[in-house]
Structure 1
Amino acid sequence: MERLFSPLELGSLKLKNRFVLAPILAGLGGAEGRVTRRQRRFYEAIAEGGTGLLVLEPVAVAPGGREHPNQLLATSDESMEGLSELIRAIHERGAKAAIQITHAGAAADPRAAGSQPVAPSACLCPSRGTFAEEMRLDEVEALVRAFGRAASKAAAAGADAVEIQGGQGHLIAQFLCPQTNLRRDAYGNDRLLFAKQVVHEVLAATGLPILLRVSCSRPAEGESRGGILRLAELAEETGLAALDAAFGDACHARPWFYLHAALPREPQEALFAALRRATKLPVMAGGRMGNRAAIQRFLDEGWGDAVTLARPLIADPNLVEKWRRHKDGEIMECGGCLQGCLRHLPEGASLRCTLNPFLAEEPPLPAPKPRSILVAGGGPSGMAAASFLAERGHRVTLADPASSLGGMLRAAAESKPALFHPLLALIRRLDSAGVTVLLGQRVEEATLERISPEVLVWAVGASQAVPSIPGLRGQKLMTAEEFFSRRPTPKGHRVLVLGATRLGLEAAERLAGAGCRITITEAADSAGCDMESVGREVVLARLASLPAITLFAGTEVERFEKEWVLLSVGGQPVRVPRFDWVLIAGGFLPKAGPPPALRKAVREVHILGGPQVATDLLDAIHSARLLAARL
């Protein structure tokens, strides 16, 4: 891994190391593409953390190419002036900055673009559910010129390099794809023509080193792979500085676009190997590279010259410096939950992170008057609250009756090992903040007498709600909370899961793997409504391939009878044979607050948590941050 700390030359651009921030659509900008203070703080933190090159978030070359209402815009003087100030700040922190220029084409958001999306040919973007119109010839030619103007403005803003987005389902990739380019003019006869013209226009507009991002849409797509190799050949012929390898398609392969943690690594590695064989240009590549083992394999196989990082640097902006100093034990390693960095971005929200709750924010101020605080509850919200309060200078003790910290997060990590990363990060934060932890300790009057806290934070979480369905109490029951805590399941192989929530779907998959036959009922019209969209797509695709699982959406369980269960499916009554046992995976209810005796014994009491916090790690930590800021 030490090789990545050696300098690298990309054309005339000299980097201090080989770690690169991949372009991230962060949604941190302001109205009309303004660079905001939060946006600057985000990039400044990564530059200070040791990353050699920051490829800034995608800048749309025209308003119609925007994916997010707060996306930067090359035609906006405010955007470019703000980028100039941002790039100076990055340079002051010892890093270099590139600007990615792009047009999303069919993947554009009509709300952000202010118009209907356009594409080489009329097509649907399934991930957005929007329809793109075919571009007129004059519109195609105008966008070629727009790429050149954007590159010129990037140079004027002080950028060290320009990256052209040639992949990931954006406009250049749409011209290369036979499904989205059915044109009968020159751009259809030669699907590489638009890319050629854009590259030549950008080269004519600036003398900066030019990087080209390429990607494979999804595994086993020969046409997609061929498009990459044609772009690599074009880059070499025109003297571009480097290739930036990515994966996925914003419209047609979102799980691969975000490289969901559950997806196999082999297709990604095959792309790296094919690109390395195809070109002599420097290759930057990344995706799920946030640990030493993945990077070492990348280096051992000789797949590239630099590593690009996105989510790992969101979770820990100081990651590169920690690696350099061999401080791996201090790293906040991304668990790939996608709750903050993806879940609300399509709705126009800005980037957040479960592991980095102060992302793009000013560090919290010291408490004006340090106090003694007792936190009851060692789940994610309790751990986060205790850490944040201690970091502000309070004297904090955390107590939990369990023998280990983590609550539902620890239980969930048993089936999803990647969740151990945020769990360990929360535990390390407790330790570094100096929180006193008392395990096997229920908060009672004697506890208060011994500790004498001035403030009690009650963070005992929530418990599974058992629905009021006639006959349910007479069944063998288990809650999802109990299931993921590894309690023995009731006997029997025919299982009814009440609620197609994240917990219900994951439990059903595990039970099917153990040989059970599962029926899932969900009152809503679709399953996984509490999940981020990409994770839901991945999980539902896996469940659809399992014949042992039957899912009824839009379905109510009316009552349990001796031999039958009566369902209402789309308003129509359906009787099914009774099940061996029932797993309850619906909503949560807040656990009882502190008893009156505890409330009387402490001057100040705060209740933290609730139904949403019980199942959503991001909300659990965010609510803890807000509480800590008030005390």
Structure 2
Amino acid sequence: MENTQRESFETMLSPIRAGAHMLRNRIIMGSMHTRLENEPDSLAKQIAFYAERARGEAAILVTGGFSPNAEGVFDSEGPRIDDPDEALHLRPICEAVQAEGSLICAQLLHAGRYAKIEGCVAPSPIRAPINRFIPREMTDADIRRTIEDFAKAAANAQAAGFDGVEIMGSEGYLINEFTVTHTNKREDDWGGSAENRHRFAVETVRAVRERCGPDFLVIYRISAADLVEGGAPADEIAALARKIEAAGADILNTGIGWHEARVPTIAYPVPRGAWRQAAANVKAAVSIPVVASNRINTPALAEDILASGEADMISMARPFLADPHFVKKVREGRADEINTCIACNQACLDFIFSDRPVSCLVNPRAGRETEFRDTLTDTPRKVAVVGGGAAGMATAAEAARLGHVVTLFEAHDRLGGQLNLARAAPGKDEFDETLRYYSGQMHKHGVTLRLGQRAGLDDLTGFDHVVIATGVTPRIPDLSGVDHPSVATYAEILSGERAAGDSVVVMGAGGIGHDVAEFLVTGSAEVHDTNAFCETWGVDPAFAAPGGLAGDPLAPKPSRRKVIMFQRKTSKPGAGLGVSTGWILRNALRKHGVEAMGGVVYDRIDDAGLHILMDGKPKVIAADTIVLCTGQEPERALAEALAGRGVTVTMIGGAKEAAELDALRAIDEGVRLAQGL
């Protein structure tokens, strides 16, 4: 990973003028849906969430999307800002952010055909693939009323104390739907030519500017690459950018991809900085500040994009979940202490899609700020942590930070535990950043490390509290021939202890099975090199072609191996994968020719291969290698021995409950345990 100390980050930390405002640096905290507005004590939670990130010195904070009217909400509980009195209730959030020296903008977002409600509207009555509702085609009167609704919503935000608004014109929402032929089939003044398709966006910006005056900050989020067929080519995007500038926008933020696009845009399989050229295309067209976004998660990368002139500012959303003090740490010369976003989406997007408030795998405090404390303990305790995986490291780092005396025992000669296996999957080497962060925190706060030392009973005497975070071991199924030379565990394959042959059977199609399959068929360049990524997913690396596409995102890709996956369950293989990343993994494997089958009964393994029953019929699958991804067993031997001596222990992570490789639960349990010591 990048050396975060190699630069002064001079460009990133320099001020920049946007409209009537001088911003303290070049970093924006991008808009995120948090669902905190639906929580008990929601105002206090929102104040704590935004104020913490303002203390972290982002120049501008952009809220999650507020609909300007009833038709534009995400769902029946989606936030709106069309009631002036309701908008005023948001003033304490604005005041808390501004007291810390940041500006705050409310995002105005009309969901268009993505609104999951009866009566959703769009330029044309074309159902979105991700929504069951067919939208009603807007009339001319509907369109003009909606433009006025945007202006009223901006005025409501201004009255509530917001410094500005961001008008959401990307990601396939209503305004974006008007700009492209993919969704706009109209033949009136709002469709047909690019001039007509751009009219709704331009008139909306003009109306907001006229209503709110010259000092109000107006950001427009432009789609710099739609990544759908019938999307905009680069020349149309540039033309729209110039019109938006002329209509009164102060900043152009860039959005990448529609929610229905079949190209991944922000998850870990996307190379860092993959979309910087799309922002550069917009910057070349205008003179107002242009913002680069998506898969920018380190200060070194942000500085490189800014110093290269490809963008004037950087928008980061999830990195501010992972570390709200991102910018402050850079300014103080502590960039190596940043808790880096690993683009896993597990506790941010996946939580949102399952109607839960946002959080973060590497930072459980995100969205839960009111539940945690920072004050040092009055009663320091002597704590032993056994196991240096995610749960153990999180416990040790947090307990030491709060003033406890911590010793961590790890049987292996390096930290990481199961993270060292997870990081082998393509793109998941982002976990290296998590290892760097927790290692650094333990060093900073004085944790005593006992690496290469398997803790015994005698080693754990004299401690006030013993935490068992010994993790899991691969489960070996009770199957004839499971000890055959062709058989390997997922741990042996991912660690490099065993090499797989040219034909592989993966037993188990859960998260680990999918990771192993992708490890076996995907080249490293596909997730680290932008050109290779673009070639794999059918993206035009210059982002000049319509929609930024150069081919079929689902076109087959040559594979390094022949891989087939089986599972006993009759459900769809991969059904339990993350909502926002599972489709990427399934499509990537499909592109590489990986087959996945459920409802299989395993019979035995021998020289001929894996013997199975499918639909009651026997079948033999020949393979050079058979990989066991058949679950995990908790490692509890030490905990049981300690209990036998009457020692009170706390088990966390995989030792407590073996379920996949669950770093999200492990880190959350570790931090919360340390908070409660």
Do the two structures share a fold, i.e. TM-score over 0.5? yes
1:358 Cα deviation from its structure 2 partner: 1.5
Counterpart selection for 1:499 from 501, 508, 511: 508
Return closer, same or farther for 1:584/1:199 CA change in 2, 3 Å cut-off. Answer: same
Give the structure 1 partner of residue 498 of structure 2.
488
Q: CA deviation at 1:56?
A: 2.0
Q: Does 1:86 align with 2:93?
A: yes
- Note the alpha carbon deviations across 1:218-269, whole angstroms, 9 max, x for none: 289762535422321221222321211121112335722xx22322568623
Q: Does 1:622 align with 2:628?
A: no
Q: 1:521 aligns with which of 541, 562, 566?
A: 566
Residue 142 of structure 1 deviates from its aligned partner by 2.8
Work out the CA distance in 1 between the residues paired with 2:186 and 2:282. Answer: 28
CA distance in structure 1 between the partners assigned to 2:624 and 2:263 by the alignment: 38
Preserved CA contact (<8 Å) 1:381 1:609: yes
Cα distance between partner residues in 2 of 1:293 and 1:592 = 42
Residue from 465, 474, 478 that aligns with 2:475 = 465
Identity of aligned residues (%): 27
Number of the residue aligned with 1:540: 586
Residue 386 (structure 1) aligned to one of 383, 390, 396: 396
**Is 2:355 the partner of 1:355?**
no
The one of 237, 248, 258 aligned to 1:249: 258
Of residues 619-628 and 89-98 in structure 1, the stretch that sits farther from structure 2 once superposed is 619-628
Given that residues 563 and 578 in structure 1 are in contact (C-alpha distance below 8 angstroms), is that contact kept between their aligned partners in structure 2? yes
C-alpha distance in 2 between matches for 1:134 and 1:555 = 47
Structure 1 residue 409, shift from structure 2 partner: 0.3
- Cα deviation, residue 467, structure 1: 3.1
Q: Which residue of 1 aligns with 2:543?
A: none
Distance 2:618 2:236 in 1: 51
Equivalent in 184, 187, 195 of residue 201 of structure 2 = 195
Retained in 1: the 8 A contact 2:381–2:465? yes
Deviation at residue 121 of structure 1 after TM alignment: 1.8
Distance 1:510 1:39 in 2: 40
Counterpart amino acid of 1:198? T
1:17-55 CA-partner distances (Å, limit 9, x unpaired): 2221111112221269x8521211111111111111112
8 Å CA contact 1:99, 1:163 repeated in 2: yes
> Which residue of the other structure, out of 594, 597, 604, is the alignment partner of 1:552?
597
Q: Does residue 459 of structure 2 align to residue 455 of structure 1? A: no
Alpha-carbon distance in structure 1 between the residues aligned to 2:297 and 2:322 = 10
Match of 2:11 among 3, 14, 17: 3
Secondary structure in 2 matching 1:97: strand
Relative distance call for 1:600 and 1:572 in structure 2 (3 A) is closer
In the alignment, residue 121 of structure 1 is paired with which amino acid? S
Which of 1 and 2 has higher RCO (CA within 8 Å, sep 6+)? 2
How many correspondences in the alignment? Answer: 619
Structure 1 position 324, deviation (Å): 1.6
Identify the match of residue 145 of structure 1 among 148, 159, 162: 148
Change (3 A) 1:430 1:368: same
Structure 2 residues without counterparts, runs of 5 or longer: 1-8, 523-558
Q: Which amino acid counterpart does residue 211 of structure 1 have in structure 2?
A: I
- Offset at 1:527? 3.2
Shift of 1:505: 2.1
**Matched-pair contact (CA < 8 Å) for 1:461–1:614:** no
Q: Report 1:111-510 matches (<5 A).
A: 115-128=118-131, 131-189=134-192, 190-207=196-213, 208-215=216-223, 216-218=225-227, 223-253=232-262, 255-256=264-265, 259-264=266-271, 268-360=275-367, 361-362=369-370, 363-364=372-373, 366-367=376-377, 369-415=379-425, 416-449=428-461, 452-469=462-479, 471-474=481-484, 476-489=486-499, 492-510=501-519
Distance 1:467 1:132 in 2: 50
- Cα distance in 1 for residues equivalent to 2:609 and 2:640: 45
8 Å contact from structure 1 (residues 177, 224) kept in 2: no
Q: RMSD across aligned C-alpha pairs, in angstroms?
A: 2.7
CA contact (8 A) 1:28 1:39 kept: yes
Work out which of the residue numbers 604, 622, 629 in structure 1 matches 2:648: 604
Check conservation: 1:6, 1:17, Cα contact below 8 A: yes
Residue 199 of structure 1: CA displacement? 2.1
8 A Cα contact 2:342 2:430, kept in partner: yes
Give the CA deviation at 1:535. Answer: 2.4
**Rounded Cα–Cα distance in structure 2 between residues aligned with 1:95 and 1:501:** 43
Structure 1 residues 390 and 78: alpha-carbon distance in aligned structure 2, compared to 1, 3 A threshold? farther
Which residue identity does 2:596 align to in structure 1?
L
Deviation at 1:70, TM superposition (A): 6.2
Give, in angstroms, the shift of residue 171 of structure 1.
Answer: 0.4
Structure 1 stretch displaced more, 298-307 or 53-62: 298-307
CA contact (8 A) 2:299 2:335 kept: no
SS at match of 2:350: coil
Check if 1:586 corresponds to 2:653. Answer: no
Aligned-partner Cα distance in 2 for 1:474–1:129:
49
Give yes or no for contact 2:466–2:649 (8 Å, CA) kept in 1. yes
How far has the Cα of 1:192 moved from its partner?
A: 1.9
Give the Å deviation of 1:385.
1.6
Q: 1:564 to 1:582 in 2, by over 3 A?
A: closer
Distance 1:210 1:253 in 2: 31
3-state secondary structure, aligned to 1:228? helix
For residues 336 and 458 of structure 2, the distance between their equivalents in structure 1, rounded to whole angstroms, comes to 36
Distance 2:133 2:632 in 1: 35
Tell me: CA distance 1:511–1:629, structure 2 relative to 1, closer, same or farther (3 Å).
same
Indicate the SS of the match to 1:244: strand
1:480 Cα deviation after fit: 0.9
CA distance in 2, matches of 1:511, 1:558: 25
How far 1:608 sits from its partner (Å)? 1.3
Alignment match, 1:21? 29
Rounded to whole Å, the distance in 2 between the matches of 1:78 and 1:294 is 42
Structure 2 CA distance for partners of 1:557 and 1:77, relative to 1, 3 Å: farther
The one-letter code matched in structure 1 to 2:259 is A
Residue type matched to 2:438 in 1?
L
CA distance in 1, matches of 2:382, 2:621: 57
Distance in 1 (alpha carbons) for counterparts of 2:12 and 2:383: 44
**What's the CA shift for 1:432?**
2.5
Indicate if the aligned counterparts of 2:182 and 2:230 stay in contact, CA closer than 8 A. Answer: no
Distance 1:389 1:613 in 2: 25
Instruction: State the Cα distance separating 1:147 from its structure 2 match.
Output: 0.7
- Equivalent residues of 1:35, 1:72 under 8 A apart: no
- For residues 454 and 613 of structure 1, the distance between their equivalents in structure 2, rounded to whole angstroms, comes to 29
Offset at residue 164 of structure 1 (A) = 0.9
* Kept in 1: contact 2:407–2:450 (CA 8 A): yes
Indicate how the Cα distance of structure 1 residues 574 and 247 shifts in structure 2: closer, same or farther if over 3 A, else same.
Answer: farther
User: SS of 1:615's equivalent?
Assistant: coil
Q: 1:70 to 1:438 in 2, by over 3 A?
A: farther
Counterpart CA distance in 2 for 1:382 and 1:614 is: 17
| Contact persistence 2:166–2:220 (CA under 8 A) | yes
Cα 1:616–1:78 shift into 2, 3 Å: farther
Q: Report the Cα distance in structure 2 between the residues aligned to 1:59 and 1:227, rounded to whole angstroms.
A: 27
Q: TM-score, with normalisation over the residues of structure 1?
A: 0.90
Of the structure 1 ranges 559-568 and 19-28, higher mean CA displacement relative to structure 2 is found in: 559-568
TM-score normalised according to structure 2 size: 0.85
Cα shift at 1:74: 0.4
Aligned-pair CA distance for 1:556 = 4.0
Distance 2:319 2:503 in 1: 41
The alpha-carbon deviation at position 69 of structure 1 amounts to: 6.6
**Match among 610, 615, 620 for residue 576 of structure 1:** 620
- Give the superposition deviation at 1:470: 5.1
